Amino acid sequence: MKTYDSFDLAFQDLINGQIDGVVADNPLALGYVGKNADKIRITGPVFTSENYGVAVCNKKADLAAKIDQGIDAVKADGTLDKLIQKWIVTGQ
C-alpha cells in the first residue's frame, strides 16, 4: 500500500503503470476514468453508500441558507445535471 498527498498523483501513477489500483470516492474515480477510459477502468461494485455534504459553522445560519438556496437553484434549472454529465461518467 502507498499513500499520496493528492488523488491526482495516485491516478497518474495508476495510468503510468506504477501501481495496480487506487481506492477513491466514486465520483472522483469516475471522473478520472472518464478522462482516461483507454488506460484505466472501474472494477467491482461501489462498496459504501456515503453521501457528500457541505458543513458550515453553526453560527452562520445565513450562509447555510444561501448554500441551500444555491443547491436548490442549480437542481431546479438543470445546471446540476449538466455538471454531472460533463464531469462524472455515469456508467462503468
Q: Which residue has the cell 495508476?
A: 14
- Tens-binned pLDDT, residue by residue, of the chain (92 aa): 899 999 899 999 999 999 999 988 888 888 899 889 999 998 888 777 766 778 888 888 899 899 999 999 999 999 988 887 777 655 44
Output the pLDDT for position 90: 53
**pTM of the predicted model as reported, rounded to 2 decimal places:** 0.61
Output the pLDDT for position 27: 83
Output the pLDDT for position 4: 94
CA dihedral 17, 19, 20, 22 (to 10 degrees): -120
